[in-house]
């Protein structure tokens, strides 16, 4: 199983997952379809399926054009709001593409219909892969826009954290540096945070992606996976895991607003990308 990491838009990632024996390929979160097809052509693969983590514009905007350019393509996801959806998936459903197995994991929180995808090959020494969209990122997680803090806690602590620690995490955005800066505020004495932040700063200087991480690493420095740890509880002033998570989300919002305040135009653009606003039709 080969994974092509494809940076798109301002800070998004889309992915091309290739079965190296059959040359069948699956795309994850198609935002720029022509670029995806160019890379698929260079790789000499047959693209059969799109897996979409959630319906937001910056993860699903390319589906319709991709289907137009390549008729017959399957577009899969858990949310009916996903553009050009041809098959709705459910939690625990398993798919197969060549030798690649896919387990669909419903991870609500960022959106109510957010699906993460766990991929592996039988009898293969390579570690499995998790395509987590905006449910889990390197040292962070997506904004909780739909659902409850308890649902988001269950998605992170129960559904994802119990996957094998060697699992490679391929997330939806390059937010690693700001995530780690916040993680350092939460746990200033965490040596794993300090080391990862130094590493991420070098990657940022070199303009190189920071994905993938591994799930085992995330458990060491991602505060949103460490809500039962005493330093994280102390930072939030909460004890119950879901309340710790909710307090962390509020603190992060305040932290990012202070460090990088958004202008009104940027806020409107983000709302449009997340599907919270729609463009009025011309009369």
Per residue in 16-27, pLDDT (tens digit) is: 999 999 999 999
Q: 86 in a domain, yes or no? A: yes
Residue 266 lies in a domain: no
pLDDT at 148 over 90: yes
Angle between helices 191-205 and 176-186 (to 10 degrees): 160
* pLDDT for 248 beyond 70: yes
Task: Tell me the mean pLDDT in the region 58-80.
Answer: 97
Q: Catalytic site residues?
A: 54, 56, 58-59, 110, 134, 173
User: Per the domain annotation, does 7 fall within a domain?
Assistant: yes
Query: Residue 147: what pLDDT?
Result: 84
- Output the domain CATH number for residue 78: 3.60.15.10
Residue 51 CB coordination number (10 Å): 26
State the average pLDDT over residues 237-241: 98
pLDDT in tens, 85-121: 999 999 999 999 999 999 999 999 999 999 999 999 9
Residue closest to 184 by CA, chosen among 237, 252, 94, 121: 252
Tell whether 163 is covered by a domain. yes
Using the predicted structure, report yes or no on whether residue 38 has a pLDDT greater than 90: yes
The pTM is what? 0.91
**Is 190 part of a structural domain of the chain?**
yes
pLDDT in tens, 48-61: 999 999 999 999 99
Say if residue 39's pLDDT is above 60.
yes
In a domain, 279, yes or no: no
Residue 280 pLDDT > 60:
no
Spatial distance between the Cα atoms of 137 and 3, rounded to a whole number of angstroms: 17
227: nearest Cα among 199, 186, 198: 186
Percentage above 90 pLDDT, the chain: 89
Evaluate whether residue 6 is within a structural domain: yes
User: What does the pLDDT average to over 161-176?
Assistant: 98
The answer to whether residue 278 scores a pLDDT higher than 60 is: no
Give the mean model confidence (pLDDT) for residues 174-198. 98
List the domain range (segments joined by +) for residue 33. 2-258
Q: Is residue 90 part of a domain?
A: yes
Q: SS in 3 state form for 153-194?
A: HHHHHHHHCCCCCCCEEEECECCHHHHHHHHHHHCCCCHHHH
- What is the number of structural domains in the chain? 1
Q: Is the CA virtual torsion 34, 40, 46, 52 positive or negative?
A: negative
């Amino acid at each position: 199983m080969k994974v092509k990491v494809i940076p798109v838009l301002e800070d998004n990632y889309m992915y091309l997952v290739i079965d190296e024996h059959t040359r069948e390929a699956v795309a994850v979160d198609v935002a720029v379809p022509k670029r995806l097809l160019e890379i698929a052509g260079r790789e000499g693969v047959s693209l059969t399926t799109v897996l979409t983590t959630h319906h937001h514009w910056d993860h699903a905007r390319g589906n319709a054009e991709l289907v137009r350019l390549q008729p017959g393509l399957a577009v899969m996801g858990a949310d009916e709001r996903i553009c050009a959806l041809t098959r709705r998936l459910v939690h625990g459903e398993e798919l197969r593409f060549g030798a690649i197995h896919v387990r669909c994991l419903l991870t609500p929180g960022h959106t109510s219909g957010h699906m993460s995808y766990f991929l592996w090959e039988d009898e293969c020494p390579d570690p499995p892969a998790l395509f987590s969209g905006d449910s889990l990122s390197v040292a962070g997680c997506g904004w909780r826009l739909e659902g409850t803090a308890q649902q988001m806690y269950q998605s992170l602590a129960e559904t994802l954290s119990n996957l094998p620690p060697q699992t490679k995490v391929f997330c939806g955005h390059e937010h690693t540096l700001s995530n780690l800066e916040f993680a350092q505020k939460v746990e200033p004495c965490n040596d794993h945070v300090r080391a990862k932040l130094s590493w991420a700063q070098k990657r940022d200087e070199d303009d190189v992606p920071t994905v993938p991480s591994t799930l085992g690493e995330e458990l060491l420095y991602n505060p949103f996976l460490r809500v039962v740890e005493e330093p994280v509880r102390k930072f939030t002033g909460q004890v119950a895991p879901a309340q710790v998570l909710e307090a962390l989300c509020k603190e992060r919002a305040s932290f990012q607003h202070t460090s990088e305040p958004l202008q009104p135009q940027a806020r409107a653009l983000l709302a449009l990308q997340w599907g919270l606003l729609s463009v009025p039709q011309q009369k």
